[in-house]
């Protein structure tokens, strides 16, 4: 069967209220081939305990639907949650993929955490994708779009009539992602967003997080369209590139660091694997003081 870029995948979103993250189970209705995008490893910062409750939920959904999990896909190295990719890879054998610019993020944060195991020749992710890379998910075609700005390694995945944009865009009434992480840049983000908005207006857009606007709805949502984003995104609609950069940089200057940035990034640059065990068998997360 020749893969098609226009078929409609089945999409199920799993919202994690602790981190406001949405994990997506995407599948081809013709073949049952499936991918998981941005899975969450539960983490309690007070006790430093991890849990696989969210992973268990999404893998149970894979089983209930009779799907074949072919890939785990990351849109970027997240600063707000620990990824469940490595746990899923270990349980299912599904390879983990991410944009090829992840090496820039690994270098920055590998140095910060003095992570000797995260080196240029270390095999951490099974697949890394260049801008424009294509592969199949059953009868569906997956196109990788490099969308830097939030981080230098961000990608979106276009699968049939759907685009999974990570943190690049949020729901129209909430806006766009911050750009003040290492390697982030508001002007670059604006241009990445234009790349996404060049897709057909009917393209379904699935965002990586949702937060409730100060004045507005009371329910969490994570699906919109390219047309709705172009017409109504509060950071984009009617704004020039310079307008957007000024707004984004002013807003970022008021934001605190994400609560889980330090534990999350030292796990996520390892594709969700925990840091290597010490001789005692214990594993430790580092908190570099005054480093951010």
Query: Per-residue pLDDT tens for 209-222?
Result: 999 998 888 999 99
Q: How many domains does the chain have?
A: 1
Helix (H) / strand (E) element for 91: namely helix 85-92
For residue 277, being part of any structural domain is answered with: no
Determine how many CB atoms are found less than 10 A away from the CB of residue 80.
Answer: 19
Token duo for residue 60: 């149970």
Residues 6+ positions from 197 with CB-CB distance below 8 Å: 226, 229, 230, 236
Helix ranges restricted to H, 155-276? 186-197, 226-232, 241-252, 261-268
Checking if the pLDDT of 234 tops 60, the result is: yes
Q: What percent of the chain has pLDDT over 90?
A: 93
Token duo for residue 270: 């390892």
Residue 258's Cβ-side half-sphere holds a number of Cα atoms within 13 Å equal to: 20
Does residue 91 come out as left (phi exceeding 0), alpha (psi in the -120 to 50 range) or beta?
A: alpha
Confidence band, pLDDT 50/70/90 cuts, at residue 3: low
Q: What CATH number did the domain enclosing 115 receive?
A: 3.60.15.10
Per-residue model confidence (pLDDT) at position 5: 57
Out of 4-13, 18-27, 175-184, least confident range: 4-13
3-state secondary structure of 44: strand
For residue 284, being part of any structural domain is answered with: no
Query: Per-residue pLDDT tens for 117-137?
Result: 998 777 899 999 999 999 999
Determine how many CB atoms are found less than 10 A away from the CB of residue 153.
Answer: 23
For residue 116, being part of any structural domain is answered with: yes
How far, in Å, CA of 110 to CA of 236, rounded? 34
Query: Per-residue pLDDT tens for 38-88?
Result: 999 999 999 999 999 999 999 999 999 999 999 999 999 999 999 999 999
From the centroid of its chain, how far is CA 185?
17
For residue 134, being part of any structural domain is answered with: yes
For residue 273, being part of any structural domain is answered with: no
For residue 275, being part of any structural domain is answered with: no
Residue 79's domain comprises: 10-263
Determine how many CB atoms are found less than 10 A away from the CB of residue 232.
Answer: 14
How far, in Å, CA of 280 to CA of 274, rounded? 15
For residue 2, being part of any structural domain is answered with: no
Does residue 256 come out as left (phi exceeding 0), alpha (psi in the -120 to 50 range) or beta?
A: beta
Q: Closest by alpha carbon to 158, among 271, 37, 15, 14?
A: 37
For residue 268, being part of any structural domain is answered with: no
């Amino acid at each position: 069967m020749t893969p098609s870029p226009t078929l409609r995948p089945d999409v199920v979103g799993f919202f994690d209220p602790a981190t406001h993250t949405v994990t997506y189970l995407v599948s081809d209705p013709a073949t049952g081939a499936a991918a998981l995008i941005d899975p969450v490893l539960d983490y309690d910062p007070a006790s430093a305990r991890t849990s696989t409750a969210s992973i268990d939920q999404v893998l149970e959904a894979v089983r209930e639907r009779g799907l074949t999990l072919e890939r785990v896909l990351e849109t970027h190295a997240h600063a707000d949650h620990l990824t469940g990719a490595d746990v899923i890879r270990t349980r299912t054998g599904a390879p983990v993929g991410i944009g090829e610019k992840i090496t820039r993020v690994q270098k920055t944060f590998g140095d910060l955490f003095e992570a000797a195991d995260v080196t240029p020749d270390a095999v951490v992710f099974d697949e890394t994708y260049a801008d424009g890379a294509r592969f199949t998910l059953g009868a569906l075609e997956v196109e990788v779009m490099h969308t830097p700005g939030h981080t230098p390694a961000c990608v979106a995945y276009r699968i049939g009539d759907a685009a999974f944009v990570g943190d690049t865009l949020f729901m129209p009434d909430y806006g766009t992602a911050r750009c003040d992480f290492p390697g982030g840049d508001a002007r670059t983000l604006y241009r990445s967003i234009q790349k996404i908005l060049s897709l057909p207006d009917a393209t379904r857009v699935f965002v990586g997080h949702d937060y409730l606007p100060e004045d507005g709805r009371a329910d969490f949502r994570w699906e919109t369209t390219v047309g709705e984003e172009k017409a109504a995104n509060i950071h984009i609609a009617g704004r020039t590139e310079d307008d957007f950069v000024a707004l984004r940089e002013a807003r970022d200057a008021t934001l605190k660091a994400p609560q889980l940035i330090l534990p999350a990034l030292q796990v996520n640059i390892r594709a969700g694997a925990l840091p290597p065990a010490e001789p005692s068998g214990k594993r430790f997360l580092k908190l570099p003081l005054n480093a951010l």
